[in-house]
Amino acid sequence: MKIAIVSALVGSAVAFAPAPAGRSSTAVRAALNGWVPDESKFAWGLPGALPPFEDGFDPLGLSTGVPLGTIKQWREAEVSHSRVAMLAALGMLVTEEPIEFHPLFEAYNKDIGPAIRHLDEVDAVSPFFLAFLTIAIGSVEWNRALTGFAKPEGSFGFQQLNENYYPGDVRFDPLGLKPSDPAEFATMQTKELQNGRLAMLGAAGMIAQELVDGKEIFVSLGLAADRFDPSSVPIQF
C-alpha cells in the first residue's frame, strides 16, 4: 500500500509537469482507437464525460487552452491512478473482516488488522518480499514507459508521450475485452474512468478512516466484529 501511495503521488507530480507547447494544435491527427484530437472540444475530445456534464466538468478552467501533449499526460496519469485505486479499494475490502482473503497471511487463524498496515507486517517477517514487489512494479512501469513514452532525443519534454500513443492503452488485454468499435471503446473507457474516479475517492477515504481510528472498514461501519488483537502481529500499532 505504501508503494502504491508513493507511486500515485509521484505520478501526480509528473502529470502536472510542463509539456512542450509546440505540439498543441498541430499534433497528432490520425485516429487513435477511434479518437481524433479536436481542439474545439473539452479535453481535446477524449471520452470520460457523462450527463449533465457532456461538455466536461472543469469549474476552475484548468484545462482551458492546455496543449494536446499536456492533456494526454493528464489523462495518462488519471487512467493509471484510477486502475491502482480500483485495485486498492477492492484489496482493502477483501483482505479485512469479515472476508479476510489474503494470500500472504494465515487469516483463518486470526484477524490481521487494518489493510494499511499489512505491508508493514510482511516487511517485519520477510523484508525481501518488498524488494520483489518493488521489482515487479518497476517492471510494469518500465513496460508502460516503453509503450507510451517518447525517447529522450531531439526536441524532448519531460514525460512526453508518443504521438501515436492513446493514454492508458498499454496493449495489455489477455482476455480480448477491448472493443474494436470506436464508439464501444469510448463507452468502455468512460466507464473505466468513472469507476476509477470513484475508487480514488473511496480508497483515499478508507485509508484516512483507518489512519484515524485504526479499525477495519466493516468494523467501523458496524458490519463486522472487531477481533483484531495488535499483540498478535509482528509490528507495533
Residue set of the binding site: 63, 78, 81, 83, 191-192, 195, 197, 209
User: Binding site residues for chlorophyll a, as ranges?
Assistant: 63, 78, 81, 83, 191-192, 195, 197, 209
- Alpha-carbon distance of 14 to 148, in angstroms, equals 14
End-to-end CA distance of the chain: 16
The angle formed by the CA atoms of residues 89, 35 and 194, to the nearest 5 degrees, is 20
DSSP string, 127-177: HHHHHHHHHHHHHHHHHHHHHHBPPS-SS--TTPBPTT--TT--S--TT--
- Alpha-carbon distance of 64 to 234, in angstroms, equals 51
27 within 8 A of 72, measured Cβ to Cβ: no
28 within 8 A of 68, measured Cβ to Cβ: yes
Grid coordinates representing 122?
510482511
